[in-house]
Amino acid sequence: MNTTKRILIIDDEVHIREVVQICLETLVSWDVLSAASGREGLIRVQAEQLDAILLDVMMPEMDGLVVLRELRSNPVTQPIPVILLTATAHRLDQQQVSELGVRGVIAKPFNPITLPHQISLALGWDLEPLITCCA
């Protein structure tokens, strides 16, 4: 049984996607897929079996909250847990975030070393057996 987590990062900033991917693949051996826009993310979500989505809020053309509404309106993507990854965490409407079923909010800038723990905590995943290098 494969216990490797599959995460999709949707963020328009290439360096954020790269840092998240390197960090999660190196520290906890998760499979990380990426999308550079909301539209690309919605296409990837349809084509992949995912355990979670890390979603940027501020993106051109289609922001993260629009993407989130699209995900929630589709029965196929509705159950996938979403964590917002944003520089505007303090400005988010908490009621709206709650109504959209967001599982967590991680503020940018984030600490790459603690990112797997933050994601696991938000999703209720057990990380103890996975992290061996940084304890």
pLDDT tens digits, one per residue of 60-105? 999 999 999 999 999 999 999 999 998 876 677 778 778 888 999 9
Domain residue spans of the chain: 6-123
- Fold classification of 6-123 (topology level): Rossmann fold (3.40.50)
pLDDT tens digits, one per residue of 27-48? 999 999 999 999 999 999 999 9
Where would I find the beta strands (DSSP E) of the chain? 6-10, 31-35, 52-56, 82-86, 104-107
Higher pLDDT, 57 or 131: 57
State how far the Cα of 92 lies from the Cα of 89, in Å rounded to an integer. Answer: 5
**What's the pLDDT at 78?**
94
